[in-house]
A and B are shown apart, each in its own frame.
Chain A
Amino acid sequence: MQIELQSLRPYPIPDKFIPKSEVWEKNLHIESGNKCLLAAQSGKGKSTLLHVLYGLRSDCSGDALIGDRSVFSNTPSEWEEIRKTKVSLLFQDLKLFPKLSARENIELIPQTNLKATPIDEMLTKVGMEQFVDQPVEQLSFGQRQRIALLRSLRKPFELLLLDEPFSHLDKENTVRACQLIEETVERNQASLIISSLGDEPPLNFDGRFSL
């Protein structure tokens, strides 16, 4: 799924960040199937961009297109369908359900990605198999981060947006998670945008943009 940004600029981004940014108020094209890294310090608008692409914000000038369509022209019901079948987002604050178990959280999605790795295999790959039946509220943030990641990979997608997915993971777990991400994205022939505070995760990126 190709993405195009046309002079996009969220209103809350301060003027002083704009000249140095490779994204804001620039024309940017991300080819279908590309993997991109958005690297920046906090407050530069990483989450904002991902939220714009997920239809959660529209307080911007310029335009952002997914495929041929402006994200600002989609109706709420179109967004419902897009989120259900085309775009998957791992939120920075995870948005898990604390009372539900890890497995229940992973399974609680409107539609399952048929190309996704089976849950138990996924859990093993990220070292979470022994925590599968525990309520999420009893897990550490790093463990929760992995559960949220698995949930986003279990959804069908043509574009995967991951907002600082490894912020609370150690190196080993980051490597394991990256392997799973890469394999799932390639199986789906999807595009990927990952935001990061600066560290580059071990993935083969086609593009890197700093904000």
Chain B
Amino acid sequence: MNTSQERSMREAVRAKGSGWEIWIASLGCLLGSSLLILAFQLYQDSNRFFEEQVSPSNFFTLNKKIQGGALVNMGKGEKTFTQDELNQIEKMDGVMRTGGFTRNKFPLTLYIWPSGKVGLGAAAKTDLFFESIPDEFLDFIPEEWNWDENSSTVPIIVPKFYLDLWNFGLAPSRVEYPTLSNEAATGMPIELFIGNNREVTLEGRFVAFSKRINSVLVPESFLSQANEKYGKPDAGQYFFLWKDGAVDGPPRTLGFLQGLTEEQKQNGEASPISSPAEKKPILEILEVQTSDTHLPSRIIVQIEGSPSDAFVAELGAKGYEINREFPEQDLVKKITNVVFLGMAIIGVLFSISSIATFATSFRLLVTQASEPATNLLLLGFSSDSLTKLFFLRFVLIFAPVFLLALALGAGLQYELCKIGKNVGIEVESGLSIPTFVFAFAYCIVFLVINRMTIEKSVKKLSD
């Protein structure tokens, strides 16, 4: 078929009317396609962002729930996990490994010098704690993480949000504290004072900011040595000593119990001050306390994938508490996904109605042109050539609308990236390859459905 003949054919079947239906279908197609493309792209962007910026949800820390007020808990020892409990946790479905937190057993005070020099300007002073975990649970191991007896500085890792709290909470409220970049924060000198009367002074430095561990971490080697050197094994554990059915004197430390004679240990009874009625032989108390000293009160758990609701419920039922950030991050992720799913659903609805409107419009178009179209068929033109004719007309409308939808999707994503950047969410702008593949597949579906509709309408004419 030559060009002038094609033009004549197009002219012959040109039908008046149905213009506004096609405009509505085009608008629906534009909105639906843009929304779908944008939702698909933002879904990927948010997933990438959560993967890069937010702690992986398959790591979380676990401790036993602490209940009651300060007075109730005063004098109670740490709620450590028993060996049985640790074994049970390790056996739970999806648990890959666990690691215990070790805590400092000595009073600790920090002076942080944001000016970069000790003694210059104001120091941020705080009582603090240190914990350590096996290195394999760290997000990454900083170069300065090694510590031995000859090291002059204690490397410290703090959660990333501590720095955020400093920058967005503390610094704006205190003129003497500057806001800090990661680099500036790692350059701050820190004085560590150990002991109630600050008997020992050490130098420290932040070496990294963790997105995974919600604690102030120092190397295991430092903490075990410091605990041994400066720690008090009986810190926080006091017992009533019983004699002749009555409490004998003030609360005593574990060290005091350990210092009793063998005879006193065998015959004497004691009870923790948190539950004075629970009298037990001193020997038994010493046995339990000694064996429990190496058991952690907080553990880090790595599981396969995100914790399921059932998994979280099982831990809750056992009286354990999952550290709060990660489920919340999951919640944010879930909410974001729901938003994108909503966008995608609206996009799909728009697209479906647009496909339906296009299909109806073109069915109408074929019907309106039924007389000349039938005449062409009677002259011997094939229904295929007529289908092509109408389909080409559809493509000429759909192609620019689809390209515009791609551009609109990309433009909106670019603008959202700019807004995101202003609130600290860095996402690469531009449509990804998977989005283009998705858009291409979507385009094919759109074309195929409309081609089938046109084909069916033309076939009806030839029957």
| A complexed with B | yes
Measuring CB to CB, which residues of chain A are less than 8 angstroms from any residue of chain B? 54, 56, 76-77, 80, 83-85, 89, 91, 95-97, 99-100, 104, 107-111, 151, 155
Check A100/B380 contact, CB under 8 A, given A76-B462, A76-B463, A95-B375. no
B12 touches A110 (CB 8 A): no
B378 contacts the other chain (Cβ, under 8 Å)?
yes
Compute how far the CA of A165 lies from the CA of B12 in the bound complex, rounded to whole angstroms.
23
* Chain A minimum-CB-distance residue to B14: A99
Of the four ranges (under 10, 10 to 19, 20 to 34, 35 or more), the interface on chain B belongs to 20 to 34
Given the complex, which residues of A lie within 8 Å of B11, measured CB to CB? 97, 99-100, 104
B12 touches A108 (CB 8 A): yes
A100 touches B8 (CB 8 A): yes
B382 touches A80 (CB 8 A): yes
Q: Which 6 A-B pairs have the closest CB atoms?
A: A83-B380, A84-B380, A97-B12, A95-B375, A110-B380, A104-B8
* Chain A minimum-CB-distance residue to B372: A97
Compute how far the CA of A62 lies from the CA of B426 in the bound complex, rounded to whole angstroms.
81
Taking A80-B381, A80-B382, A89-B378 as given, write out 17 further A-B residue pairs in contact, using a Cβ cutoff of 8 Å, ordered by the A residue number.
Answer: A77-B382, A80-B380, A80-B383, A83-B379, A83-B380, A84-B380, A84-B381, A95-B378, A97-B375, A99-B12, A99-B14, A107-B4, A107-B5, A110-B381, A111-B380, A155-B379, A155-B380
Number of A-B contacts (CB under 8 A): 60
Given the complex, which residues of B lie within 8 Å of A56, measured CB to CB? 378
Check A108/B8 contact, CB under 8 A, given A76-B463, A97-B372. yes
Compute how far the CA of A22 lies from the CA of B380 in the bound complex, rounded to whole angstroms.
30
A108 touches B380 (CB 8 A): no
B9 contacts the other chain (Cβ, under 8 Å)?
yes
State which residues 96-138 of B face A: CB under 8 Å. Answer: none
Compute how far the CA of A54 lies from the CA of B377 in the bound complex, rounded to whole angstroms.
12
Check A108/B9 contact, CB under 8 A, given A76-B463, A97-B375. yes
Main secondary structure on chain A at its contact with chain B?
loop
Compute how far the CA of A155 lies from the CA of B372 in the bound complex, rounded to whole angstroms.
18
Q: Closest approach, in angstroms, between the C-beta of A163 and any C-beta of chain B?
A: 12
Given the complex, which residues of B lie within 8 Å of A76, measured CB to CB? 383, 462-463
Compute how far the CA of A83 lies from the CA of B385 in the bound complex, rounded to whole angstroms.
14
B12 touches A100 (CB 8 A): yes
Measuring CB to CB, which residues of chain B are less than 8 angstroms from any residue of chain A? 1, 4-5, 8-9, 11-12, 14, 372, 375-383, 385, 462-463
* Chain A minimum-CB-distance residue to B375: A95
Compute how far the CA of A143 lies from the CA of B263 in the bound complex, rounded to whole angstroms.
136
Given the complex, which residues of B lie within 8 Å of A155, measured CB to CB? 379-380
B378 touches A91 (CB 8 A): yes
Q: Closest approach, in angstroms, between the C-beta of A190 and any C-beta of chain B?
A: 15
Q: Closest approach, in angstroms, between the C-beta of A119 and any C-beta of chain B?
A: 13
Q: Which of B372, B377, B379, B381 has the most CB of A within 10 A?
A: B379
* Chain B minimum-CB-distance residue to A101: B8
Q: Closest approach, in angstroms, between the C-beta of A153 and any C-beta of chain B?
A: 13
Given the complex, which residues of B lie within 8 Å of A107, measured CB to CB? 4-5, 8
Q: Closest approach, in angstroms, between the C-beta of A83 and any C-beta of chain B?
A: 4
Contact sample, A vs B, 11 pairs, CB 8 Å cutoff: A83-B378, A83-B379, A83-B380, A85-B380, A91-B378, A96-B375, A97-B12, A97-B375, A99-B11, A108-B5, A109-B380
Q: Closest approach, in angstroms, between the C-beta of B51 and any C-beta of chain A?
A: 55
Q: Closest approach, in angstroms, between the C-beta of A114 and any C-beta of chain B?
A: 15
Check A109/B379 contact, CB under 8 A, given A97-B372, A100-B12. yes
* Chain B minimum-CB-distance residue to A99: B11
Q: Closest approach, in angstroms, between the C-beta of A24 and any C-beta of chain B?
A: 24
Given the complex, which residues of A lie within 8 Å of B5, measured CB to CB? 107-108
Given the complex, which residues of A lie within 8 Å of B382, measured CB to CB? 77, 80, 84, 110
Q: Closest approach, in angstroms, between the C-beta of B386 and any C-beta of chain A?
A: 11
Given the complex, which residues of B lie within 8 Å of A54, measured CB to CB? 378
Q: Closest approach, in angstroms, between the C-beta of B114 and any C-beta of chain A?
A: 83
Q: Closest approach, in angstroms, between the C-beta of B35 and any C-beta of chain A?
A: 40
Given the complex, which residues of A lie within 8 Å of B381, measured CB to CB? 80, 84, 110
Compute how far the CA of A68 lies from the CA of B385 in the bound complex, rounded to whole angstroms.
29
Compute how far the CA of A148 lies from the CA of B385 in the bound complex, rounded to whole angstroms.
22
